[in-house]
Amino acid sequence: MPRTDPTRWLIPYAPRPAAELRLVCFPYAGGTSALYRPWSEVLPATVEVWGVEPPGRGARLGESPVDQLRVAVGAVSQELERSPGAPYVLCGYSLGSLLAFEVARELRRRGMSQVAGLIACSFPAPHLAPRLPAADVPDSEYRKPCRDGWIGSE
């Protein structure tokens, strides 16, 4: 059973002190770390799965959500910095990919060597970001495929 300390961002599922690798999983916008709980049951015992639980979600539902990326990046980076042990891979889905990417960049700036990799799902690479904010794209454009799959990139 994961801990539910509402002051922490990281929840280790099935703690494995002897794990060779930690998989730190960032949920999509509006999601919770519970999305990744089943992974700890199917991955090998050499992998310890940690879920990122943002304020205002899951076990931290009673807290005010964080609405600034830099605040979330700083908080997660600081907690990872205080968590020595096995190297980790950051894994994000959708907006969680952006957060994982920025955390990896921040940890690199801090000289942290534990980051062994980054898995980003359902989010564009930084150099392929859409050129138009979604709010500025006409409804008819959402149905038109673009050359590289992103609205406003033609």
Choice among 94, 97, 122, 140 that is catalytic: 94
User: Which single residue is written with the structure tokens 């992103």?
Assistant: 150
Of residues 63, 67, 33, the one with CA closest to residue 51: 33
Phi and psi at 127, nearest 5°, equal -80, -5
Active site residue 64: no
Cβ neighbours of residue 29 closer than 8 Å, sequence gap 6 or more: 94, 95, 96
Supply 104's token pair: 């990896």
Residue 36: C-alpha distances to residues 20, 28, 39, 130 (Å) = 18, 11, 5, 28
Q: What are the catalytic residues?
A: 94
